[in-house]
Chains A and B, each alone.
Chain A
Amino acid sequence: MTHAAWVMPALPLAGFVVLFFVGRRLGDPLAGWVGTAAITGSFVAALVTMAGLLSHPAGPAREINQSIYTWISAGGLHVKASLLIDPLSLTMALFVTGVSAVIHLYSIGYMKKDRDYSKFFVYMNLFVFFMLLLVLGGNLIVTFVGWEGVGLCSYFLISFWFERPSAASAGKKAFIYNRIGDAGFLLAMFIIFEKTGTLSYTGIFSRTGALSGSAGVAAILLLFLAATGKSAQIPLFPWLADAMEGPTPVSALIHAATMVTAGVYLMVRMHPVLALSHDAQLVVASIGVATAFVGGTIACTLHDIKKVVAFSTISQLGYMVLAVGVGAYEAAIFLMVAHAFYKGLLFLGSGSVIHGRHDEQDLMKMGGLAKFMPITTITFVVGWLAIAGVPPLSGFWAKGAVLDSTFVRYPVLWVVGIVTALFTAYYMTRLFVLAFTGNPRFHAAIDTRSGGAHATVEALSGSGSGAGAGEADHGEGRLSGTAAGDISGYDIDVGVAHGGSGGGAPVHESPPVMTIPLVILAVLAFAGGVLDLPWGGPDRWNALSWLGPVFGHYLYNPHLSMAGQWLLGIVDAGVGLAGIAIAWNLWSRAWKRPELEPAFLASYWHFNDIYDTLIGRPGARLASFAYSVVELHWIDGVVNGVGSLMKRTGSGVRRVQTGYVRQYAVGMALGILALLVWVLVRA
């Protein structure tokens, strides 16, 4: 049953083609259902393929290379469009298609009445296609195709409401940050090809000997550069915050559950190369834990509900990267899957809140939503407790698996990781308290708005694009801000707040097509821990243990005693609960606490400003120097100078000759003569 693996990417591609050509005619909601059906079919195909794979004995038999056709062949390079089906890629494919199907379903409701309803699903289906190419690709180039493709779809979807200058800028920013990483990907491929003569995974892994030494380190660190772009790690993470300009289902699917995990997947996929260098592993682990910490601290201070969740994602991705650096690949994948469940849930819950609050994203203008949105609230609680690491929810097990390995291998990094866990529980509790508990704070917003009627119409006519109307007057300022580089998170919050607050009924629960996905994800986020419980001997049965043979001896084994495991688990749980308690105490008493929101953190540790000062502005100056001085004065100046010189000498010659062409003919003849003489004399 594995020979039909190509169906997995083919179905979303077919969905894309159908929707591209007739999507507009299908309209709302049929286009959405077609898109959802294509992804669901792909999920079923993944299940069938898994059944097929499980019928093979564990080990190399579960590694199936499928070649579709020869793509590029020139000068020793033979690249096939091929798929690699093994437990790792299939685990990825399963959760990508599964979560995608759920989020597609949710989008049917969320995108309702959007002007470009069908286009949204065109992009989403295309995204899933590329994501599946990425994870199923049998060689680095096919993965790169998917890698670039998901980046492209991310660009399309972030700037989906392209009339908002901030959305347009955010899309471009995401693409360019990722492009920097992609350059690293390309160079890594060149090194690997130069050393091993192949780019297929199985080929590379059988020749890792050729990559020992500095070449292998360079290759894996360049791939890691690409991963920092895609998975929003230091130094290339700032784009992910801006990416929240896209519709919320996009944030959930692309910028939380799937695409941003691609960097982690790439590193896990390339683990035999990563394992060649302990230094490289330490670099990866350090960047991961640093990102987790930085992202977590920033998330504690923001007001925009989506941005909090976005930095939470950055932080969680940091944990996954940490796991990769430690060598705990199985834990990385476990956290990735669990994170897809609870972060998808949190994003969709936020989307439900935003939807219910008529495109309001400012936590300061929420409060008391629990009364109005029961299903959203209950499911959100599950997501919140899961990410906070409260047992027995999935996040506890997944994060615990990462931290346990880290504790043994890099104790210093473990300390940072556990502190970050405290922050994690803190910021998510803060978010929950501000949004769902206490007294509603949104009446004030409605009262201050004079043009309420207009805003209501806009807000209803297209969920997110309604914000465009209110935002038009802020557009100028924000455009110039982003043009120069970036604006601080606080400014964005204010802009969105002004734009979004609509009138009408202050709050409503979302329709079933949106709440059912919430429930599904809540169940998964709650029980996801069963995928990889830490009990049992070597023959333990865990869903993710089928990954074991993929990593073989590369997998880091922490050798923890049972008591040690218990102790670490208790520490994890205690830290999580402590974070919850602290945040609950602080934020349920007062919702305005600027002293707890230092500007340094709220402006993303000034990363944007630093890039702007170090790269953006000097780059702009260099470019304008290149054009106005080098190009116009030097290069073209010389050309024009020669031209006018010719003209002047020409005017002397013109007494005898007339016209340009003759001049050159004469010059040509003289030149030939001179050269002839010279060559003949010398030869």
Chain B
Amino acid sequence: MHSSFPYLTVLILLPAGAALASVLIPRHMEPRARNAAIWTCGMGGSLATLVLAAVVAVKFDVHNPGYQMVTRHLWVSGLGISWHLGVDGISLFLVLMSAVLFPIALVAGRTRPNFHMFVAWMLLLEAVCIGAFLSLDLILFFAFFEVSLVPIYFVISSWGFEKSASAAVKFFVYTFFGSIFLFVGIIALAIVHQHDTGVLTFSLPALRSTHMPYYVQVLLFLSFTAAFAVKAPVFPFHTWSPDAYAEAPVGGAVVLAGVMAKLGTYGIIRFDLNLFPRASVNLAPLLLSLGVAGILYGAVVACTQRDMKRMVAYSSLSHIGFVVLGLFALVGAGLSGGVLQMVNHGLIVAALFIAIGWIYERRRTWNVAGLGGLQKPAPVLAAVFTIAMLAAIGLPGLNGFVGEFLVLLGTFIAHRWWAVVATAGVVLAALYMLWTYQQAFHGPVDKEVEETTRDVTWRELLVMAPLVILIGFIGIYPKPLLDRINPSVNQLVSQVDKAAGLRAPALPARRAARVSGAVPRRPGTGKSVAARQRAGVSGAASAPGKLVVSRPLRPGGGGLGVAGGQGRSR
């Protein structure tokens, strides 16, 4: 489906252009006018992007689960690289969320030295992040994924706090190291595909049908996942994040945790599940375990943190654990919940970081040891923080609950015991959040603190308002989002089921047999595929008692070993 107007291309070029413009504003202008011009560039660019993203969301066809508004131009013809963009229900809200968070992050990070560069880097980052969410070409995605490191590196190191330089380097090197695996994986996949079909391409839809030996699929899955796990971050690849979140300026922390981290989880759903369905299904227990470990470990460590930004960093680890859990549940409810939870987490973590930034502006610390009783002089600040905190805890009525509930429900249906353990994270989340809140906001307050701490201004509140409204709206009425996420997710789930259940093992003889429809289903898988699809697609409409949503398939029991053996036996 080619749309007449290249919405998605413009969606990337608009912030990029604004970034360029803000750098080009002449230095010799009168400072005030220059600042105003930069400001106009920054806000104009990011708000225009938001408007355009909203237009895309409005024009988005709810009933079409596939890629929409697709743009494709051959870029490097010799290598089969193309400017290939498209949006579906999975990426739509990540794009929208980015478009919402960037203007907010810009305002929250205002009035810093070298303002024009801050605006430029942030807008460039927006362009790159949106580009990554829209890319349907693996090299294009990789380019965006990688380039995103540059602006955020400069944002952290130039406008961050005391140890920001080393935090930025650690972040850069760590994620760069992860990306190497992704790059190698992409190249290898393209070569395998070329070997298989004779066509060199990096297009995601084309590569999806690549036939490869199972062990190659596993290796490629692991190399892709390594990069995504570092970026997300998934336990235990997270240790860059507390440093980076704590040292980044508020605006940087918002987009780093809110948007950039989603590149990792988005990569998992878009590439891992699409390209390596069998490996995804077979290795799901590994990733589920990492997700659960992240949920519990992040929560436990968050309890020990007295630095509020680090506390949020570890709570993010916990929340990303929920996302990973949902994705690798590989059933409709879990995946939809996971996608929704990515958006939710972006909104919540942004609100938390901005509120913590307010605290810092007032008290010059975000260590709870130096705070206390803030609710008295700053009740509105306390209220806003409370809302964000409760959303993070997963209180029903706010957005975090919907995602968390779907994730846990989906996981429970597919992999019961992981969900049971993960539910403990729900308790722990309340523990560290309320403990932090109590230390910062409750308790007696010094006279001096009470008199010198002002509450939030209307202007500050205006910046936060969209986040709070969205947190409440998605909590009460998530239907507009789920209606668009579900079709794409259901399609993905059925693709994964089909591929995992029927494509195994990819031997030429079997391939021929499959075309003729003669390949026998692997024992025990057929029924559970059907059951899973029922859970994922048709669901409760079926007759009473009939909805026995059984465990998902794990083809061939110890799939890795068996299939690996087949690979070798060739």
Contact = CB atoms under 8 A, between A and B. Distances in A.
B504 interface: no
Nearest to B177: A664
A59 interface: no
Given A162-B443, A186-B405, A187-B420, A197 B426 contact: no
Interface in B469-497: 476-479, 482-483, 485-486, 489-490, 493
A175 interface: yes
| A contact patch SS | helix
B34 interface: no
Interface in B178-210: 180, 183-184, 187-188, 191-192, 195
B6 interface: no
- Most B-side CB within 10 Å, residue of A72, A180, A630: A72
A145 B424 contact: no
A566 interface: no
Nearest to A186: B423
A72 B216 contact: no
B65 to A, nearest CB: 14
Contacts of A628: 304
Contact of A676 (B188, B390, B545, B546): B188
B413 A152 contact: no
Most chain-A Cβ atoms within 10 A of its Cβ — which of B191, B304, B402, B536?
B304
Scoring B216, B537, B539 by chain A CB atoms within 10 A of each residue's CB, the highest score goes to B539
A627 interface: yes
B544 A207 contact: yes
A70 B334 CA distance: 19
B376 interface: yes
A626 B59 CA distance: 48
A75 B333 contact: yes
Interface residues of A, number: 75
A484 interface: no
B418 to A, nearest CB: 12
Given A145-B396, A175-B430, A479-B443, A76 B180 contact: no
Interface string A205-218: 01101100000000
Interface in A553-599: none
Contacts of B184: 668, 671-672, 675
Given A165-B442, A165-B443, A207-B545, A186 B426 contact: yes
B412 A190 contact: yes
Interface in A623-645: 623-624, 626-628, 630-631, 635-636, 639, 643
Contacts of A630: 297
A179 B373 CA distance: 24
Interface stretch (B67-75, B115-123, B433-441, B516-524): B433-441
A635 B239 contact: yes
Given A76-B537, A197-B549, 15 more contacts: A74-B333, A74-B337, A75-B331, A76-B539, A159-B442, A162-B376, A163-B373, A163-B376, A176-B431, A183-B423, A186-B408, A660-B173, A664-B180, A671-B184, A675-B184
Interface of A: 69-78, 141, 144-145, 148-149, 152, 155, 159, 162-163, 165, 167-169, 171-172, 175-176, 179-180, 182-183, 186-187, 189-191, 193-194, 196-198, 203, 206-207, 209-210, 468, 472, 475, 479, 622-624, 626-628, 630-631, 635-636, 639, 643, 660, 664, 667-668, 671-672, 675-676, 679-680, 682-683
21 contacts: A73-B479, A74-B336, A74-B337, A74-B482, A75-B489, A75-B535, A77-B333, A145-B397, A163-B376, A165-B444, A168-B442, A179-B427, A190-B408, A191-B412, A197-B540, A206-B544, A623-B300, A624-B304, A639-B240, A679-B192, A680-B191
Interface of B: 170, 173-174, 176-177, 180, 183-184, 187-188, 191-192, 195, 213, 216, 236, 238-240, 297, 300-301, 303-305, 331-337, 373, 375-376, 390, 395-397, 402, 405-406, 408-410, 412-413, 419-420, 423-424, 426-427, 430-431, 434-435, 438, 441-445, 476-479, 482-483, 485-486, 489-490, 493, 534-540, 542, 544-547, 549
